[in-house]
């Protein structure tokens, strides 16, 4: 009797939903968000660091407007402490897609005295001012970012479309409610929005999508040999801007990076994962979070990310 | 009034092994620093989700936190929503698209006004499944009678509200009873643990079998004259010379190449000649995919148009009767000029009538001239342009809209169409 209760419509519905997997649904949502922002804002820009999340957002944008060009430029906040492999990848990517690259340079601000180097040497908190100036100079009213809610407990609170005041500040107590898939991006002069199309993706979703779509990444995501030294349980690279302190021993290790940030504060993980499918397996089995394993700046305090976001960091 | 929501969420994540070692270590350390009670190594699970400084300081949840976890059987997006009355708007935000809602009730205090409020909202938003977790069962020594008294009150309230699918589970978020695994402390309870229940419920997509007619609100028109992506091959570039496609997300139904469709508001019929998902050409696509459709005729369809299966478009509406959830601090009054955002269209509107406010104690509508924050009221809106709206009960996405302040852009209210007078 129960079999007779399954109508043809119900059967069609079940097969319909099961033929789409979680990545299809995440991709559809992200493209929807990208198109909404492109349609409703005058001058969007995409924050592009060459890291895997912004690479995925850019890839989604190429799909959203195909066969047309991506209708907005990309912006890189260059701290001056970037991995050279990442800068090469950044330039190749924008060249291939024929899109304009805007660069906000922290080094320029340090050179002319608008910013001062911090005692701890990290430049991550210094990115905020050049970022906000670049947004104002480009008159950008919408800024895409690759932030994901699973990265950090403060990011878990972020809306997909998030309003920022003229100081770029995020006010977590006063966010617009976000209902259904109706994104309210109305803003007044001086305000802008941050748009996070892959808010609902996890690190593993990102890697599975990179695998499925065959998306190119900077080589440092894959296992390679590098001179590193251990600090606070992280493997930091020897470079022009990062050197071992007394008692820290340099070793040649096979490592890869889970996130791409500054050379000075982004740790490598010891790994033999040389292909995307190796990485998918490794991430699925990992017992450490992406940022916990690799980001020194998030360890500054329990609310490091929240504090940076309130200041206008993305 | 902390009923332990964040603790329950933390427990759910922890016991389903979704918390990674470094997060757990950090939360354990902070718990100890703050002198969290219990045995050494006891964890204040609320620290896992209360991600804002102010939340941790006050021990309350201010804003929705989204968490992701997966069991062997299903992937979950979990929205941890505040229950405090002043944050009802965040609760509405978390519930609007949910497949299932878990409402916590403290077994010692039973059904409260805020429980009624939560369940009334859930009923109006037509969340398919409701689970009432009767929490802190450990504090009444796992007493069956205490649980059953609350369960009876919940059942009576569900009947009053007309909630179709309500499950009641005795849990202790703190001790972990019946959260991920069934507890030996409640031998009198023969139902599933909370997570088992969540793994088995049908999703909205699986349930909405009556929405099979195609509906796609147009987000933008792709017409790349002079601006083809450099990734398009020279051979393909020729074929795209006169390309014009209508990009959007399929809200419901399936579209196939060759299908007859109707375009709102132009009211014309045409045929689908191509479906594209990025560079990939498809024969068919279904909700909720984002695609671009090519049509046989040069129809007028800009952003705001709706492409639907031929014959399935609703009559254009210039007036809406709707239940609205007042979210902004400023009261909504008769005569207010607002914007209504529905699908990919935003139109001017006037609140012509506030017909009443839902009294959550009596569940009756009482007359009022203005809706204050957290009020749920029945209003009539006059629109400056036609909308292809449907009653929310028949089609969630076509029945949902936002009420926006025309000057500062704030979201004033969330609305659902209850009927649409011709």
Rounded to a whole number, what is the distance in Å from the CA of A157 to chain B's nearest CA?
5
Predicted pLDDT at B16: 78
Stated as kind and residue range, the H or E segment containing B26 is: helix B21-33
Predicted pLDDT at A10: 37
Mean pLDDT in runs of 10 for chain B (422 residues)?
72 79 75 67 70 61 76 84 68 86 93 86 90 95 97 94 92 93 96 94 69 90 84 84 92 95 94 96 94 94 95 91 93 96 97 90 86 92 95 91 95 89 46
Q: How far is CA B205 from the centre of its chain?
A: 13
Query: Which one has a higher pLDDT value, A260 or B418?
Result: B418
Predicted pLDDT at B151: 96
Predicted pLDDT at A4: 32
Predicted pLDDT at A8: 35
Rounded to a whole number, what is the distance in Å from the CA of B227 to chain A's nearest CA?
6
Backbone angles phi, psi at A69, to 5 degrees: -75, 160
Query: Which one has a higher pLDDT value, A310 or B44?
Result: B44
| Contact at CB, A200 and B89, closer than 8 angstroms | no
| Contact at CB, B220 and A39, closer than 8 angstroms | yes
Q: How far is CA A137 from the centre of its chain?
A: 22
pLDDT at A303 exceeding the cut of 70? no
Predicted pLDDT at B290: 97
Predicted pLDDT at A275: 96
Other Cβ atoms closer than 10 A to A214: 8
Q: B279: nearest CA in chain A?
A: A66
pLDDT at A124 exceeding the cut of 90? no
Rounded to a whole number, what is the distance in Å from the CA of B19 to chain A's nearest CA?
8
Predicted pLDDT at A292: 63
Question: Residue A247 has which token pair?
Answer: 């008692």
Q: Which residues contact A268 (CB under 8 A, 6 or more apart)?
A: A226, A228, A234, A235, A236, A237, A253, A255, A256, A257, A294
Rounded average pLDDT over A1-11? 34
Question: Residue B322 has which token pair?
Answer: 């709707």
Rounded average pLDDT over A210-225? 96
Predicted pLDDT at A15: 38
Question: Residue B235 has which token pair?
Answer: 């051979």
Residues of B in contact with A182 (CB under 8 A): 341-343, 400-402
Predicted pLDDT at A6: 31
Q: B55: nearest CA in chain A?
A: A173
- DSSP at B135: E
Contact between residue A170 and residue A305 where contact means Cβ atoms under 8 Å apart: no
Question: Residue A113 has which token pair?
Answer: 């005295």
Query: Which one has a higher pLDDT value, A178 or B53?
Result: A178
Q: B285: nearest CA in chain A?
A: A16
3-class SS of residue B379:
strand
Question: Residue B298 has which token pair?
Answer: 């040069």
Predicted pLDDT at A13: 37
Model ipTM over 0.85? yes
Predicted pLDDT at A55: 97
- SS3 per residue for chain A: CHHHHCCHHHHHHHHHHHHCCHHHHHHHHHHHHHHHHHHHCCCEEEECCCCHHHHHHHHHHHHHHCCECCCCCEEEEECCCCCHHHHHHHHHHHHHHCCCEEEEEHHHHHHCCCCCCCCCCCCHHHHHHHHHHHHHHCCCCEEECCCCCCCCCCHHHCCCEEEECCCCCCCHHHCCCCECCECCCCCCCCCEEEECCCCCCCHHHHHHHHHHHCCCCCHHHCCEEEEEEEECCEEEECECCECCCCCCCCEEEEEEECCCCCCCCECEEECCCCCHHHHHHHHHHCCCCHHHHHECHHHCCCCHHHHHHHHCCC
Residues of B in contact with A202 (CB under 8 A): 68
Query: What sections of B203-261 are H helices per DSSP?
Result: 204-207, 234-239
Contact between residue B48 and residue B10 where contact means Cβ atoms under 8 Å apart: yes
3-class SS of residue B81:
coil
Residues of A in contact with B232 (CB under 8 A): 66-67
Mind listing the pLDDT tens digit for each residue in A49-78? 999 999 999 999 999 999 999 999 999 999
Predicted pLDDT at B394: 86
Q: Which residues contact A135 (CB under 8 A, 6 or more apart)?
A: A45, A75, A143, A168, A192
How far apart CA B277 and CA B288 sit, in angstroms, is 12
Rounded average pLDDT over A110-116? 93
């Amino acid at each position: 009797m129960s079999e007779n209760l399954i109508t043809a419509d119900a059967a069609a519905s079940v097969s319909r939903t099961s033929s789409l997997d979680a990545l299809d649904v995440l991709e559809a949502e992200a493209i929807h968000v990208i198109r909404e922002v492109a349609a409703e804002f005058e001058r969007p820009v995409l924050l592009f660091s060459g890291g895997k999340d912004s690479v995925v957002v850019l890839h989604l944008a190429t799909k959203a407007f195909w066969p047309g060009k991506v209708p907005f430029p990309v912006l890189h906040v260059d701290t001056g402490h970037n991995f050279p492999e990442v800068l090469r990848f950044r330039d190749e990517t924008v060249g291939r897609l024929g899109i304009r690259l805007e660069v906000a340079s922290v080094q320029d601000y340090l050179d002319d005295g608008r910013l001062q180097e911090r005692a701890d040497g990290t430049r991550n908190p210094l990115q905020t001012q050049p970022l906000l100036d670049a947004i104002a100079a480009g008159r950008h009213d919408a800024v895409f970012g690759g932030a994901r809610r699973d990265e950090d407990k403060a990011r878990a609170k972020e809306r997909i479309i998030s309003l920022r005041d003229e100081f770029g500040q995020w006010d977590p107590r006063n966010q617009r409610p976000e209902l259904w898939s109706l994104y309210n991006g109305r803003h007044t002069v001086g305000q802008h929005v941050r748009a996070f199309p892959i808010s609902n993706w996890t690190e593993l979703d990102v890697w599975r999508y990179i695998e499925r779509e065959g998306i190119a990444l900077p080589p440092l995501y894959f296992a390679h040999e590098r001179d590193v030294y251990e600090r606070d349980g992280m493997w930091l690279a020897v470079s022009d801007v990062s050197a071992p302190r007394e008692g820290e021993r340099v070793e040649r290790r096979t490592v890869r990076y889970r996130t791409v940030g500054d050379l000075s504060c982004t740790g490598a993980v010891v790994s033999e994962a040389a292909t995307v499918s190796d990485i998918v397996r490794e991430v699925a089995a990992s017992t450490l979070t992406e940022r916990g394993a690799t980001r020194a700046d998030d360890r500054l305090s329990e609310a490091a990310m929240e504090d940076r976001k309130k200041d206008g960091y993305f | 009034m902390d009923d332990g929501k964040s603790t329950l969420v933390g427990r759910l994540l922890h016991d389903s092994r979704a918390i990674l070692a470094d997060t757990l270590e950090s939360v354990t350390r902070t718990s100890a620093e703050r002198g969290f009670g219990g045995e050494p190594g006891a964890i204040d699970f609320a620290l896992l989700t209360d991600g804002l400084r102010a939340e941790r300081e006050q021990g309350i949840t201010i804003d929705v936190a989204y968490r992701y976890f997966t069991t062997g059987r299903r992937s979950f997006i979990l929205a941890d929503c505040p229950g405090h009355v002043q944050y009802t708007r965040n609760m509405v935000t978390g519930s609007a698209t949910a497949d299932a809602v878990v409402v916590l009730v403290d077994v010692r205090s039973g059904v409260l006004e805020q429980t009624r409020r939560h369940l009334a909202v859930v009923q109006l938003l037509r969340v398919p499944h409701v689970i009432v977790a009767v929490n802190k069962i450990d504090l009444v020594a796992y007493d069956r009678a205490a649980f059953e008294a609350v369960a009876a009150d919940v059942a009576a309230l569900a009947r009053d509200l007309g909630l179709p699918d309500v499950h009641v589970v005795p849990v202790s978020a703190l001790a972990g009873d019946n959260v991920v695994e069934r507890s030996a402390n409640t031998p009198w309870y023969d139902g599933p643990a909370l997570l088992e229940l969540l793994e088995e419920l049908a999703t909205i997509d699986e349930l909405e079998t009556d929405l099979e007619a195609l509906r796609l609100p147009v987000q933008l028109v792709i017409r790349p004259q002079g601006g083809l992506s450099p990734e398009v091959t020279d051979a393909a570039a020729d074929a795209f010379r006169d390309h014009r496609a209508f990009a959007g997300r399929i809200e419901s139904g399936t579209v196939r190449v060759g299908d007859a469709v109707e375009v709102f508001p132009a009211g014309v019929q045409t045929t689908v000649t191509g479906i594209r998902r990025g560079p990939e050409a498809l024969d068919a696509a279904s909700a909720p995919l984002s695609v671009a459709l090519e049509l046989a005729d040069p129809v007028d369809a800009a952003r705001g148009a709706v492409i639907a299966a031929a014959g399935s478009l609703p009559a254009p509406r210039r007036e809406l009767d709707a239940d609205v959830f007042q979210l902004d601090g400023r009261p909504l009054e008769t005569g207010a000029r607002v914007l209504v955002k529905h699908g990919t269209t935003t139109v001017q509107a006037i609140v012509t009538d506030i017909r009443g406010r839902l009294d959550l104690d009596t569940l009756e509508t009482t007359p009022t001239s203005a809706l204050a924050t957290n009020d749920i009221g029945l209003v009539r809106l006059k629109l400056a342009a036609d909308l292809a709206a449907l009653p929310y009960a028949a089609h969630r996405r076509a029945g949902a809209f936002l009420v926006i302040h025309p000057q500062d852009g704030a979201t004033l209210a969330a609305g659902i169409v209850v009927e649409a007078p011709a």
